[in-house]
Each structure stands twice: as C-alpha cells, then as structure tokens.
Amino acid sequence: MTLKKMVAMKKIKLSELIAPNFYELHNDIKNNRYTHYWLKGGRGSTKSSFISIEIILGMMKNPNAHAVALRKVGVNLKDSVYEQLLWAIEKLGVSDYWMARLSPLELIYIPTGQRILFRGADKPKKIKSIKVKSGYIRYVWYEEVDEFNGMEEIRIINQSLLRGGDKFDVFYSFNPPDSQRNWVNNEVTREYPDRKVHHSTYLTVPKAWLGEQFFIEAEHLKKVNEKAYRHEYLGEVTGTGGEVFTNVTIRKITDEEIKIFDRIKRGIDWGYAIDPFVYIKCHYDKTRRRLYIFDEIYKVGLSNRKAAEMIKEKDPGHKTIIADSAEPKSIAEMKSYGIRIRGAIKGPDSVDYGIKFLQDLEEIIIDGERCPNAAREFLNYELEKDKDGNFKAEFPDKNNHTIDAVRYALEDEMRYSRIEFLK
C-alpha cells in the first residue's frame, strides 16, 4: 500500500502536524532544493517534531532510503530522537507499518525493511561501521547538534554516512547557545549553496499544540527576565555580556553593492612565525556609519614578496594601504615590490580608541564567504575574565588580527572623528 493511500485512509492533513513557519521548508525538502538543513529555535518551536515527520514521510515515499539519528551521547537517544520519531509515526497514523526495537535501538518500516538507526557520537567506531543491506542512508539527523565538538567531527561522520546515493537530507537541530563564540552559532552564519538555515519560535505554533500553561510560563519569564526569555523561548543569541562587538552582521555582500563602494579602505597586520599575515579591504559608509568588510588575505607563513603578489592579483590598481608601523622593514620591502603602503600613526591609546570607534558604528557588515576569518574574529572577540569571574577592563590582544587590520585601514577616519569630538 502506498503512503498516499495510507494517509488518505487516516484523513490526516500535514497542516495539522506542521506549524505554518515550516511550510516553506517542507516544500524545499519535497523539491530537493538543499542537502543540509540547520533548524534553530527556542523552546516549543516544534523543530524536532517537524524533522521527525519529514523523515518518516520521506522514508515511506522512498523505498531505498534509510535514516540515522544521532546524539553526542548515546544514552540520550531513547528519550529524545527515538521517542520523537515514534510520536511522528503515531501522529501520521501508520503505527501498524512500523516495528520498534529497543535492543538494538531501531525502527523498521515493515513493508520494505527500511531502518532508522540510532547512534551516539561518543562511540565513533559504531558510526563508521554502519551498513544497510540494500538502499542507502539518505536521512541523517543531528539532534542538539551544539553538543557535538564542531564541524570537523560533523564532517567525519558525514563522510561515513553520506555515500551510495544521489540525494541526501541532513538535519541539524539545536537551541542556539547564548554565546556567539559557540561553534554552532558561528557555523550558521556561513552561506553555502546546498545549505538552508531556518529559525523558528513558539509564537508561530498553534496554542492548542503546546497547551495554555506553556504560554503562561513563557510570558512570566518575559516579565521577570527578558534576556532569559529571548534566549530560551525565542532562540536568540543573547550573549554572555563579554562580547566586544554587538553590531556585527554576517551576510553576503553582492557584486552590485561592491561596484558602488566609493570609500574603500585597506589595511595590513603583519604575520609572524605563528601569526597570520592579514590584508583587509573594506568600505566605510560615513553617512550611515556602516562598515562593509568584503575581502581578505589571511595566511600563516606568508613572505612579504608573496603577499605583495597576492595583493596585486587580488586588488590591481589598489590605493594606499595602511599597515602596522611596528615593522618599518616590512613596509620598505613591500614598497620595493610596488605596493603603495604607509605605516599607521599610533598613539598611546590607539588600540582602545580604535575598538571603541568600531563598537560605536551602526553596523559592521562582513561577507562570511569572502572573509571567513574576519567574520570569525569579530564574532568571537570577547572580554576575558579574571580569577573571580569578572570581566577584565582591557581588550584582549589575541585572535584579533583582522580587527587590527581594520583599525589600520580606518585610521584616517578615526583620527578625523577624534578631532571633531575634541573640538
């Protein structure tokens, strides 16, 4: 019996199971528009319910498709993804067609023998050894993906699972951690053609699905602790309080935008044995107080000669570059290679003033694809804490190479701004 006939018999409408906020995403999956779906949101957003519905529907439509559901710690599988998928099976009215096993933990679609397997990333060998008798693993679900150790771990797992087929659907669900420093918050700012990032909240979910008490609790927290409410219920990255730049936006800066940039600035932070050479290109919209960072060179062990060649290739006809004046020999060497460059004019408090100037901008827009290192450093730059857990007053001097390059690039703007302030 086909899925269409079974669902028709039960008279089940997907609109009764999927919240309106997920309709467009459902169509994306149905039309094979992406491979990787990152679903973030707060409590009660029904993102896990949506994923479980999509996996069960997808498997019943595609007889060659199997699924793997993952948690970082295997002991958490049964009470989370396993129960969630059982919920989806029951809500779709197809329980008679599925077999549930506890040892080993798995769900089997009886008509075809398709399986949903459950694995914990705390035992990576068990993930690498996953095999299916026929067909292939099309669906992969990382529940609470922020608990994993980062994209390197995710890539290794995907390399083991995503093989033998021509179409895959990989779901990553999580409540965003409060700190932008967390790897998963950084990861979803990056744009890839085969990835879609989706944000959902309880506000788009029918009240009857969550119950009146859920909304009472949410409203109470909103009144007594709005920041906690925004983080827990709206899934916002509210921060730890130590973020230096709260005005950063990561998005694609289009070629059309770049064509009309008329206040382009360039800066260099010199590299050392373990530090990268950094060249930054940005546009400063003085009227709207917006900074656009749209090009970078970021490389460890790069000689000045090679750096000059890369700058000429990447930015032919460049105007004057402002560099860290602490290395006059490097500046002289770059000049000998035909680079128009001068050293920054530093003052005793130039670092603090430069960072505060950047903090005070209306917006710092960074193209995460063109400038992944600038995006990472600006987002992760946070005040450090002392032994008592209090934030230190000074700005940290590490993992800030692109930030320094931007400060040098904007030196003239900063000096003018300071003079105007002191008048």
Choosing from 143, 144, 327, 382, which is the catalytic residue? 144
| Region of 384 on the Ramachandran plot (φ > 0 left; ψ -120 to 50 alpha; else beta) | beta
Q: Reply yes or no on whether 144 is catalytic.
A: yes
What's the rounded Cα separation, in Å, for the pair 157 and 151?
10
Helix (H, G, I), strand (E, B) or coil at 8: helix
Are 281 and 296 a contacting pair, CB within 8 Å? yes
CA distance 4 to 104: 30
Question: Is the separation of the CB atoms in 237 and 250 below 8 Å?
Answer: no
How far is it, in rounded angstroms, from Cα 403 to Cα 381? 9
* Grouped pLDDT means (10 residues each) for the chain, 423 residues: 51 87 96 97 97 97 96 93 97 95 95 96 79 93 95 93 94 92 88 95 96 97 95 91 90 95 96 90 96 97 95 93 96 97 88 94 94 92 88 91 97 70 39
Strands (E) across 151-206 are located at: 169-174, 195-200
Rounded Cα–Cα distance for residues 222 and 226 (Å): 5
Q: Which positions ≥6 away from 399 have C-beta within 8 Å?
A: 377, 380, 381
Cβ-based neighbours of 21, under 8 Å, separated by 6 or more: 45, 200, 201, 204, 205
Neighbouring C-beta atoms of residue 43, cutoff 10 Å: 18
Which of these CATH numbers, 3.40.190.10, 3.40.30.10, 3.30.110.30, 3.40.50.300, describes 3-232? 3.40.50.300
Which CATH code for domain 248-422?
3.30.420.280
Q: Could you tell me if 379 and 239 are in contact, meaning their C-beta atoms sit under 8 angstroms apart? A: no
In the block, which residue shows the tokens 């063109």?
Answer: 370
Question: Is 88 in contact with 16 (CB distance < 8 Å)?
Answer: no
For residue 395, the number of C-alpha atoms closer than 13 Å in the C-beta half-sphere is 20
Q: Please report, as a single letter, which amino acid is at residue 244.
A: V
Residue in the structure block whose two tokens are 């309106």: 20
Domain boundaries along the sequence of the chain: 3-232, 248-422
